A and B are shown apart, each in its own frame.
Chain A
Amino acid sequence: MKRLKDAIDGVDLNRFRIWFQLAMFVLLVYGGYLAINLGNHLPMFACGFNQEGRGGICYLMPLQHQLARPWPQLFGMASLGVLTGFGIFWLWFIFLNKGWCGYVCPLGTIQDWITALRRRLGVRYARYTQDQFRHLSRVKYVLLALMILIPLGIGGGWFSRDMGTPFCLICPARMVLPLFTGDLSHLTVDFSSKTAVAMTVLGMLITGLFLTGAFVKKRFFCFFCPMSALHYLISRPALLKLRKDGDKCTRCGDCYRACDMEIKAIADDVKNADIMADDCILCLKCVAACPEPGALKATFATITIFESTEAGFIKRCQKGIGLDQPKR
């Protein structure tokens, strides 16, 4: 048992993640060809517009559809459907918590690939100042609110139906993911109405921003992702947890350095045991980068599955000191 634990705690997390993310990407972007269908309540961006290859569908699509029903329907019989839909989504979600973002979401994985490309080219990444960070962190909640209110408004007859699934129209996944199955049809402007033109042009701009943003900034899009906001609001009962023992923390900041989401509290907060911040993607890079045994850990249903250890830290984070080193 102890041997197994040591092996897991000493794992080269970055490499594990690369392969795991790749497998998940294949499953969700090409799984459809193998008749895989995980349903349409998945808690990350397995985009439904990738018609051919999708192995399951992002919950935001059915959610927006459902909310755009005419009100009498929505608040009548259909409400049951909305609630069960949400229930299924929630069940998926609590299983991995935000680990869906760090390990499964294809759009997250693509950002990590763009980051890897940048690193290969030797270009350094950009950082936000703490102030920018604080402001930007709010954007995702605004997007989430709009994503719910606009469909409701459509159902109430205030907005045009062309605004249906408003977030999908501007979501970079809608243009980027179908490309992987050779579907270029979403890279066009829809000229059917003024609203459609505006929204698809905006969507294209956002996709451009997504690609360039992800090149200069790690996980650029995830800061703004409404799915992430929705996750955080319901994350309390989740099974996978990121936990911290503040007594063991030296506040060395090693975890903060590793964090793609620039979460300062991961290093500085020594009070809260439940340390997952709203921007966190549960990539667990911080756990891997922490040199203090037991200071950070991932638990599943209160069982520790991955914990910071001195030996693991040295193996992973100290290059070229003559011990067995992870390759780059």
Chain B
Amino acid sequence: MTNPNAKTAALPYNRSRQAREAETMLDHITDDFDDNPPSMAYFYDLFRRAYCRGESIEREGVRVGTTCIHAPEELIYAFGATPVRLCNGSYHYDQIGADFMPAKSCSLVKATLGMLSSENAIPKTGKLDLIVNPTTCDQKKKASAMMAGMGHSVYELELPPAKESEQARVYWQRSVREFAVRLRQLTGKKLTRKNLMAAMAKTSRAQVAFRTLHNFRRKAPSLILGKDVFLVTNAYFFDDIDRWTDAVERLNAELAQREKDGFCAAQKKAPRILFTGSPPVFPNLKLPLVIEQSGGVVVADETCSANRMLYDMTSVDEWLLNNMVDSLADKYLKPCTCPIFPNNDDRIRRLLDLAKSFAVDGVVYQTFAGCQVYEMEQRSVAEALNKAGIVMLAVETDYSPDDLGQLTTRIEAFLESIKTRKRKAT
């Protein structure tokens, strides 16, 4: 383990600036709030170990990195390999990644590249045997060659540019089958009905746990805060899936108890916020945190680091291998509300439905500076929401902590305006 930077090499990881970035965020998440659910301790501890102390959470066997929710994890599990989601939220890596991308690019892509170029990448999930890079937005697409340039072996999983047509569906099903072939070469194993079924059951158990958690957030007053839920879903990126599911099930059991006891995790009148847009990834939980520090509560989200990643479930009509793989492909394409697709009525409808069924008071729309697709969709989303009588605040930000003060002011004003509106309405 050689480190080119002598100065940081002298410092143990847990005292580096990078570890401090994570630590500050975790401290805020845990210490700024009373009554954190005791079963969240598992997740707090996981992040402390992985991000603050730089402990290895290495996985056995073949490791497949994914840069997007479109890579079917069930296939990876079926081949006995482990998926690790690479989307990174660290400002430290964002700065390193700036060397690869143009100045005005998305923090998430830069941070991911920054992490991949580092020798002792945090979280320490071990050397990657393959990176699957679905061809989504331009920045991620172009990142492929850069990752390859860093010495990684990269597989471009070809996603169709639109998703509605039958051609797109068939094209994507073919891509997914190709991916299975690549995984067979990588692992030397065969895909069978049995191992795919077991893999799908693994994921679906996790999804059921997530959906249960999601449903608890409908309750008013809230049983759990959004900052905790983002941490939970972020842990899904790199944690062992069965252990993760167990921990979420424990959390759910606790929330059920909280419900019985009539517990309130936030003030009864706290504005209920739906979070959408660019995905919050630890340690960049800045915006959700500010919302809750300012007295709001994030009750639902529509982002690819949480809801979009875990919500939609597969249905299989005939449990034969071909059909199962096609069903998986469908699940990863059809319900996806990613802004890279030309039309996005699905996203708007999803937001409206979430807003309605979670009794949402306002929507916060995060756009990472440089993410054009989210920026371009902002107007149509705002219009649709406003038409339904829901206010939306659009926030452009990145991973740097510099805009924290300004963000806080804006969020506070937004929440205040919601409260005033509510008061007037009653």
Q: Give me the interface of A with B, judged by CB distance under 8 Å.
A: 119, 122-125, 129-130, 246-258, 264, 267-268, 270, 285, 289, 291, 310, 313-314, 317-323, 328
Binds A, one of B63-71, B175-183, B349-357: B349-357
Whether A310 contacts B211 by the Cβ 8 Å rule is: yes
Binds A, one of B27-35, B319-327, B392-400: B319-327
Look across to chain B and name the residue whose beta carbon is closest to the beta carbon of A116.
Answer: B318
Contacts A318-B204, A321-B201 given; does A257 touch B317 at CB 8 Å: yes
Whether B312 contacts A318 by the Cβ 8 Å rule is: no
**Least Cβ distance of A11 to chain B in Å?**
16
B376, CB-defined interface residue at 8 Å: no
Whether A257 contacts B346 by the Cβ 8 Å rule is: no
Q: Which residues of A contact B326 (CB under 8 A)?
A: 257
Q: Which residues of A contact B346 (CB under 8 A)?
A: 250-251
**Least Cβ distance of B332 to chain A in Å?**
10
Whether A119 contacts B312 by the Cβ 8 Å rule is: no
Whether A319 contacts B315 by the Cβ 8 Å rule is: no
**Least Cβ distance of A25 to chain B in Å?**
22
Whole-angstrom distance between the alpha carbons of A247 and B356 in the complex? 10
Question: What is the size, in residues, of chain B's interface with A at 8 Å between Cβ atoms?
Answer: 35
Whether A119 contacts B315 by the Cβ 8 Å rule is: no
Whole-angstrom distance between the alpha carbons of A246 and B345 in the complex? 12
Whole-angstrom distance between the alpha carbons of A246 and B353 in the complex? 10
Whether A264 contacts B166 by the Cβ 8 Å rule is: yes
Cross-chain contact of A122 among B164, B166, B320, B349 (Cβ < 8 A):
B320
Contacts A319-B197, A321-B204 given; does A267 touch B334 at CB 8 Å: yes
Q: Which residues of A contact B204 (CB under 8 A)?
A: 314, 318, 321
B48, CB-defined interface residue at 8 Å: no
Q: Which residues of A contact B335 (CB under 8 A)?
A: 250-253
- Classify the interface of chain B: helix, strand, loop or mixed: helix
Whole-angstrom distance between the alpha carbons of A139 and B127 in the complex? 58
Whether A253 contacts B166 by the Cβ 8 Å rule is: no
Whole-angstrom distance between the alpha carbons of A285 and B319 in the complex? 15
Whether A257 contacts B327 by the Cβ 8 Å rule is: yes
Whether B201 contacts A318 by the Cβ 8 Å rule is: yes
Whole-angstrom distance between the alpha carbons of A321 and B199 in the complex? 10
4 residue pairs, one from A and one from B, having the closest CB atoms: A252-B335, A254-B315, A253-B334, A320-B201
**Least Cβ distance of B125 to chain A in Å?**
25
Whether B323 contacts A321 by the Cβ 8 Å rule is: no
Given contacts A246-B349, A317-B315, 20 further A-B contacts (CB under 8 A): A119-B318, A119-B320, A123-B320, A125-B323, A247-B352, A247-B353, A249-B349, A250-B350, A253-B335, A254-B313, A254-B330, A256-B330, A257-B315, A268-B164, A270-B349, A291-B312, A291-B315, A314-B208, A320-B201, A321-B208
**Least Cβ distance of A77 to chain B in Å?**
52
Whether A125 contacts B318 by the Cβ 8 Å rule is: yes
Contacts A130-B166, A248-B353 given; does A124 touch B320 at CB 8 Å: yes
Q: Which residues of A contact B318 (CB under 8 A)?
A: 119, 124-125
Look across to chain A and name the residue whose beta carbon is closest to the beta carbon of B206.
Answer: A321
Whole-angstrom distance between the alpha carbons of A267 and B346 in the complex? 12
Q: Chain B, 238-279, contact with A by CB distance < 8 Å: what is the 0/1 string?
A: 000000000000000000000000000000000000000000
Whole-angstrom distance between the alpha carbons of A123 and B200 in the complex? 21
**Least Cβ distance of A123 to chain B in Å?**
8
Can you name 11 A-B residue pairings with CB atoms under 8 Å?
Answer: A246-B349, A248-B353, A252-B331, A253-B334, A254-B314, A268-B164, A291-B315, A310-B215, A314-B313, A319-B201, A320-B197
Q: Which residues of B contact A289 (CB under 8 A)?
A: 315, 317
Q: Which residues of B contact A125 (CB under 8 A)?
A: 318, 323
Whether B315 contacts A313 by the Cβ 8 Å rule is: yes
Whole-angstrom distance between the alpha carbons of A122 and B194 in the complex? 13
Whether B334 contacts A252 by the Cβ 8 Å rule is: yes
Cross-chain contact of B313 among A264, A313, A328 (Cβ < 8 A):
A313
Q: Chain B, 190-231, contact with A by CB distance < 8 Å: what is the 0/1 string?
A: 000000011011001100100100010000000000000000
**Least Cβ distance of B252 to chain A in Å?**
14
Whole-angstrom distance between the alpha carbons of A320 and B205 in the complex? 9
Q: Which residues of B contact A129 (CB under 8 A)?
A: 166
Q: Chain B, 393-423, contact with A by CB distance < 8 Å: what is the 0/1 string?
A: 0000000000000000000000000000000
B316, CB-defined interface residue at 8 Å: yes
Whole-angstrom distance between the alpha carbons of A253 and B329 in the complex? 11
Whole-angstrom distance between the alpha carbons of A314 and B314 in the complex? 10
Contacts A252-B334, A319-B197, A322-B205 given; does A291 touch B313 at CB 8 Å: yes
Whole-angstrom distance between the alpha carbons of A314 and B203 in the complex? 13
Whether B334 contacts A328 by the Cβ 8 Å rule is: no
Q: Which residues of A contact B319 (CB under 8 A)?
A: 319, 328
Whole-angstrom distance between the alpha carbons of A247 and B327 in the complex? 23
